[in-house]
A and B are shown apart, each in its own frame.
Chain A
Amino acid sequence: MTPHMDVAAALRQITGFIYPNELELHWALLVVIYPYLTGLVAGAFILASLEKVFKVKELEHTYRFSLLIALAFLIVAPLPLLTHLGHPERSFEIFLTPHFKSAMAMFGFVYAWYLMVVLLLEIWFEYRADLVRWSRSEHGVKRLVHNVLTLGSKDVSPGAVAFDHKAVHVITLIGIPSAFLLHGYVGFIFGSVKANPWWSSVLIPIVFLFSAIVSGISLVFLLYYIVTLLRKQTPDMACLNKLASFLFYALLVDFSLELLDFVHRLYESEESIKILSELIYTKLFLSLTIVQIILGTIAPILLLAVARFSKLPDELKRLGFFIAALLVQVGIFSTRWNVVIGGQLFSKSLRGLTFYKLEVGGAEGLLTGVTFLVLPLLILFVLVKVLPPWREARTREEG
């Protein structure tokens, strides 16, 4: 909101009493998008790690693809934050003088760690042998790009390749808690704000993490399904079934945690319960009860249960999975919305509610938001071209 906003009109939309400084909402669409993106990164990576560490063979089709998805979204993730800052040109101060008491100061280092030590490193080790062999038989720009990416390494002897596999395994092991940290600290940023009773909760980091896993699995599902069809192939049914199973179980856990939070709040009925109840029944009714809970959690759970465990033909199962995964994406975005925006819609005086108007244009507008949601897909397209994750693209040891 800017000083040019119609203050009189804004004041008419307040119910009850809010502190005068609370008229302007501070964390808007961009801050909703950031946890959504890092959640997808963490979720996609954890899915990939299931294949490597827990040896879930059916997911082999999606392993490399999940890594690329994670990378594409990780590259875009800081952009909404930078756009949201009052002074993006000073953002490097987080690296120069981090205040370690602040969870947000962790951002720079956790992000750098995850990007460099986990994701890029894992992708490099995973692709290295193929990069070397591809660059041998290619020409022109492709050869140059792949050559640069090998960092000059040329050894593809069995010993070197075995080292690569071992490195990937070790990095994935480090990567799983790192992924938890990457998204968990975002949950902690909210969960540790004692000033805000909607956010302040021990469960928020955990709920964030599980909804991240849910969103990551469903994203990999959707992208794998769509891209495979675009490549005029049939998605592997065993893989889809496995993805659907994991999504189903993760949804159950996620739903239980959210239910626990809800029941706990209602049972303890602390001072904030009155205004928070009013918030849920009025401002957040559509986005919370309808979109997040019914459409985003309960409907996919039922749909997945039916599609996965019944004796329907494969085409119908695939359709059921697809719709469920789509609903889950909408539901998880709505979850982020309800946490971030919902937490600012009520006054800290616990006596009133304010409003949020989503602009169409401007730095915090809908168009900017959509750009940040579409950009990772464009980057993914480029990554898939440079580092094809498909089985057919893999090279073999000669002889």
Chain B
Amino acid sequence: MGRGRREFLQKVIEGAGSAFLLQVVAPIAALAKPDASGYDAEGHYYGMGIQVDKCIGCGRCVEACKAENGVPREPLYFRTWVERYVIRSDGETTVDSPDGGIHGFPATAEENDIMRSFFVPKLCNHCDRPPCVQVCPVGATFKTEDGVVLVDSDYCIGCRYCIQACPYGARYLNPHTKTADKCTFCYHRITKGMTPACVEVCPTQARVFGETKAMSSPLRRLMRMGRLQVLKPSLNTEPKVFYTALDGEVR
């Protein structure tokens, strides 16, 4: 091989090497950027509490969520929904969630045979070890510093892997943006000190929102006084939606 070729090859390798270094070094240096918006994410760590024995199954939370966040109205897409459990005297359990509970619930067929019955609101659990974040191939869904799991709908490629990975059925594919979508804890509200829409409208205050690590918040009190459960604990997703008075039949 001639000298000319060798030199050319060396130049090519050097050029590629430095471009690669730029790729690695520059992003690391950029990590130390200050937050410009005034809201300090590091000072918060959000969670939600749900008191099952207070839920009356009115469905106002489902309605408020769809209204606040522009969720498509078809019964295929829910950021939150309410399930009704009816356990009969013979132990058989029936569960239903007509249109997510957005219009309330109709009379139940087993009325005379009920041993126990209750409503369970459900939503994204904003897990501390979210399996949905783990499987996203491009980094379109992520957990923020304040403990909220979000989806970047300008970056999501719509592969639907996160929807498969969520054990709670909390995610759906938004038919308009063609990206994954789910409860955001009303991020646009909580970063301004408001509560999520579902918490705002709950008539019995069955839903409680707050800081998991602050000294006093409605959630903190629940964490102290209630016997807390989470959904599917054996999957080790470490949900941050805590239930009290949750029945063993609830999946």
A136 at the interface (CB under 8 A from B): no
Cβ-based interface call for A19 (8 A): yes
Point out the residues of chain A lying under 8 angstroms from B164, CB to CB: 26-27, 193, 195-196, 344
Q: A21-B78, A93-B157, A194-B131 are in contact. Are A351 and B137 (CB under 8 A)?
A: no
Contact B137 A348 (CB under 8 A): no
Main secondary structure of the interface of B (DSSP, over half): loop
Q: Which residues of A contact B160 (CB under 8 A)?
A: 26-27, 86
Indicate whether A101 reaches chain B with its CB closer than 8 angstroms.
yes
Query: Chain A residue with minimal CB distance to B162?
Result: A102
On chain B, the number of residues with a Cβ less than 8 Å from chain A's Cβ atoms is 48
How many residue pairs link A and B with beta carbons under 8 A? The number is 134
B166 interface hit (Cβ, 8 Å): yes
Q: Does A385 contact B (CB under 8 A)?
A: no
Nearest chain A CB to B9 CB, angstrom units? 15
Which segment of A35-43, A48-56, A103-111, A175-183 sits at the interface?
A: A103-111
Interface residues of A, dominant DSSP: loop
Chain B neighbourhood of A7, CB < 8 A: 74-76
Quick check: A193 and B165 within 8 Å, CB to CB?
A: yes
Q: Within A1-59, which residues are at the interface with B (CB < 8 Å)?
A: 1-3, 7, 11, 16-24, 26-27
List residues of chain B with CB within 8 A of the CB of A1. 76
Q: Look across to chain A and name the residue whose beta carbon is closest to the beta carbon of B77.
A: A21
B235 cross-chain contacts in A, Cβ below 8 A? 194-195
Asked if A21 and B169 sit within 8 Å, CB to CB, the answer is yes
A97 to B139, CA, bound (A): 7
In Å, the complex CA distance between A88 and B158 comes to: 8
- B158 CB to closest chain A CB (Å) equals 2
- In the assembled complex, the Cα of A27 lies from the Cα of B162 at a distance in Å of 12
Q: Could you tell me the distance between the alpha carbons of A340 and B94 in the complex, rounded to whole angstroms? A: 28
Evaluate contact between B136 and A102: CB separation under 8 angstroms: yes
* Inter-subunit contact A3/B175 (CB<8 Å): yes
Question: Closest residue to B163 on the A side, CB-wise?
Answer: A26
Question: Is A395 positioned at the interface, with any CB of B under 8 Å from its CB?
Answer: no
Known interface pairs A24-B76, A86-B157; A350-B251 also in contact (CB < 8 Å): yes
Cβ A189 vs Cβ B172 within 8 A: no
* CB of B171 within 8 Å of the partner chain: yes
Cβ A87 vs Cβ B178 within 8 A: yes
Whether B75 pairs with A98 at a CB distance below 8 angstroms is no
Within 8 Å of chain B (Cβ to Cβ): is A94? Answer: yes
Chain B residues contacting A349 (CB-CB under 8 Å) are 95, 169, 251
Give A69 to B62 CA distance when docked, in angstroms.
53
- A101 and B138 within 8 A (CB): no
Whether the pair A17, B95 counts as a contact (CB closer than 8 A) is yes
Q: Is the CB of A20 within 8 A of B96?
A: no
Nearest 10 interchain pairs by C-beta: A86-B158, A19-B169, A86-B178, A195-B167, A104-B137, A17-B95, A105-B137, A93-B138, A26-B160, A21-B172
